[in-house]
């Protein structure tokens, strides 16, 4: 018998599918769905997410947003969006379940390319999950919680309003042609060796590295200072931890930088189609040899100069209009609304090429 991960009931997967369908249907009967979101604890101490209020979070019709720290009656919260960054958060989900057993818990996995077992354990306590890295999400298939859809990372350190105001204040900053390399040096990642080589040999770069145990060099700054670090440059090189499409791509574009991105990033072309890459002046590379990187820097700076202020605005607007935190939250809520409206149904499915698991299918 399959034991559901967050109750002591022995539920076969088909029964779990029926349970979820009934819960979504009940939620769909409400005129207004009240929701909140909670970031992973480690990201709060890092200022990983904007600290100020985001007015756009409350702008989705049919949903009422309640800031997490303002919730006084959990019985009145219908939906919780929880972000996970690789830690096992199953116990935390259980705590929310005790506050309100019928609350629908949506899980957004920011780092599903790492910590596979922790992520899977967390997923199995929730009601719908969303992976930010589609290329490494198959392992999350399970018999307890269906996948909503691919919801990639975004720019989340600033709200849309805050970003617009800060970008306006920083608009007169002179940008350097030096390549921006502002990274956490994770020793377990392949890129650690490359970062050391770039710092030693690439005189065309500003290498601003920090150890994983102390990220104060960047996250200790104010929100304006953090954005100013990006705005002070024309271009940056994206070096993923593995093959992941990370937040730095979105942050760089928000600040108007030209992005140099390796083709090894699996989800890049899905989020940034070729015509968008061309319009925003992006540069793609196939390897990390020094001549390749030097040529890419020259091309990126040339693209920046050619596109000028119109290019800066185009890159910023692309993020501000569709790739900020509020846009991602709304995407997950719209997916939930489809399930609540009966347009999607939870079913136990599988095939010769698809492991048995709970999935959403067109009703």
- Can you tell me the mean pLDDT for 38-57? 82
Provide the H-helix boundaries in 30-145. 41-45, 90-99, 116-123
Closest CA to 323 of 248, 214, 221, 263: 248
Asked if 353 and 284 sit in the same domain, the reply is no
The sheet with strand 128-131 has its strands ordered as 63-65, 33-38, 79-84, 104-109, 128-131
Average pLDDT for the chain = 93
Identify the three-state secondary structure at position 177: coil
pLDDT range class, residue 336, cuts 50, 70, 90:
very high
153 Cβ contact list (under 8 Å, min separation 6): 110, 132, 245, 246, 247, 249, 250
**Radius of gyration for the alpha carbons in the chain, expressed in angstroms and rounded:** 21
The count of domains in the chain is 2
Q: Is the dihedral of CA 40, 82, 151, 315 positive or negative?
A: negative
Using an 8 Å Cβ cutoff, are 177 and 234 in contact? Answer: yes
Query: Do 287 and 337 reside in the same domain of the chain?
Result: no
Quick one: pLDDT at residue 11?
62
Report yes or no on 329 lying in a domain.
Answer: yes
Residue 290 CA: distances (Å) to CA of 182, 200, 242: 18, 12, 20
With a cut of 90, say whether residue 45 has pLDDT above it. no
Mean pLDDT of 326-340: 97
Specify if 3 maps to a domain. Answer: no
Q: Are 266 and 276 in contact (CB under 8 A)?
A: no
Domain shared by 356 and 298, yes or no? no
In a domain, 113, yes or no: yes
Segment 220-254, tens digit of pLDDT? 999 999 999 999 999 999 999 999 999 999 999 99
Residues 307 and 329 in one domain: no
Same domain, 214 and 67: no
Place of tokens 């957004």: 108
At 40 the pLDDT is 81
CATH number of the domain residue 197 falls in: 3.40.50.2000
The answer to whether position 4 is within a domain reads no
Share of the chain above pLDDT 70, in %: 96
Decide if 7 is inside a domain. Answer: no
Specify whether 174 is located in the same domain as 214.
yes
Of 218, 232, 225, nearest to 166 by C-alpha is 225
Q: How far is CA 93 from CA 96, 107, 121, in A?
A: 5, 10, 11
- Residue 189 belongs to domain spanning: 163-320
Say whether both 180 and 313 belong to one domain.
yes
Residues 212, 93 share a domain:
no
pLDDT score recorded for residue 210:
93
Report in angstroms the alpha-carbon separations of 261 from 170, 198, 292. Answer: 25, 16, 12
Instruction: Kindly state the greatest CA–CA separation across the chain.
Output: 64
Contact yes or no for 261/284 (Cβ under 8 A): yes
C-alpha to C-alpha distance for 103 and 18, rounded to whole angstroms: 16
Taking a C-beta distance cutoff of 8 angstroms, is the pair 362, 353 a contact?
no
Residue 355 clears pLDDT 90, i.e. is over it: no
- Quickly list DSSP for 113-130: TS-HHHHHHHHTTSSEEE
């Amino acid at each position: 018998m399959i034991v559901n991960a967050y109750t002591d009931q022995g539920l076969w997967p088909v029964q779990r599918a029926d349970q979820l369908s009934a819960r979504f249907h009940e939620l769909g009967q409400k005129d207004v769905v009240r929701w909140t979101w909670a970031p992973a604890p480690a990201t709060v101490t890092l200022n990983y997410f904007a600290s100020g209020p985001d007015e756009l979070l409350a702008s989705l019709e049919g949903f009422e947003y309640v800031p997490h720290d303002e919730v006084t009656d959990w019985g009145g919260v219908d939906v919780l969006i929880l972000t996970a960054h690789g830690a096992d958060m199953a116990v935390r989900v259980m705590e929310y379940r005790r506050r309100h057993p019928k609350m629908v818990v949506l899980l957004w996995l920011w780092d599903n390319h790492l910590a596979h077992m922790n992520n899977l354990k967390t997923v199995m306590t929730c009601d719908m999950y969303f992976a930010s890295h589609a290329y490494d999400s198959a392992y999350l298939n399970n018999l307890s919680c269906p996948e909503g859809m691919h919801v990639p990372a975004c720019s989340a350190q600033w709200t849309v309003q805050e970003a617009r105001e800060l970008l306006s204040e920083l608009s007169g900053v002179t940008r350097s042609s030096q390549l921006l390399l502002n990274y956490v040096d994770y020793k377990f990642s392949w890129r650690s060796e490359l970062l050391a080589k770039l710092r030693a040999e690439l005189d065309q770069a500003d290498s601003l590295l920090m150890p994983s145990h102390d990220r104060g060099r960047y996250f200790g700054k104010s929100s304006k200072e953090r954005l100013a670090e990006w705005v002070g440059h024309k271009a940056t090189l994206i070096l993923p931890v593995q093959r992941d499409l990370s937040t730095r791509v979105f942050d760089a574009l928000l600040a108007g930088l030209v992005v140099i991105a390796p083709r090894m990033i699996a989800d890049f072309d899905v989020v940034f189609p070729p015509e968008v890459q061309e319009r925003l002046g992006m540069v793609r590379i196939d390897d990390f040899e020094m001549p390749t990187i030097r040529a890419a820097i020259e091309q990126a700076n040339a693209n920046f100069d050619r596109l000028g202020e119109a290019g800066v605005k185009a890159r910023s607007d692309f993020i501000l209009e569709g790739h900020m935190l509020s846009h991602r939250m709304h995407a997950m809520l719209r997916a939930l609304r489809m399930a609540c409206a009966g347009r999607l149904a939870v079913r136990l499915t599988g095939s010769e090429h698809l492991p048995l698991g709970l999935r959403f299918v067109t009703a």
